[in-house]
Amino acid sequence: MNKSRPSQQKRQRERQRQERRTEKQARRQEAAERKANAPARADGSDPDLEGIKPGPQPLEDWQKFPE
């Protein structure tokens, strides 16, 4: 009787693993579709990097030492 319990637990773990695998695959597919359907930027620039110049950046007001 004790031998049946681990196999049931193993089946349950395998089912959960398979469900997670299918959910992950669905998320990947949705992300790929979103990326494919997103409008391409005409200028090819990254919106996160807009307004940043190469080199040291100027200090913000809260970063400056009080004089």
Kindly report, residue by residue over 11-60, the tens digit of the pLDDT.
999 999 999 999 999 999 999 999 888 777 667 777 787 777 888 888 88
- pTM metric for this prediction: 0.51
pLDDT score recorded for residue 23: 97
pLDDT score recorded for residue 64: 85
- How far apart CA 58 and CA 64 sit, in angstroms, is 10
Confidence of residue 3 (pLDDT cuts 50, 70, 90): low
The three-point CA angle 6-12-17 to 5° equals 125
Contact 47, 41 (CB under 8 A): yes
pLDDT score recorded for residue 4: 63
- How far apart CA 6 and CA 17 sit, in angstroms, is 16
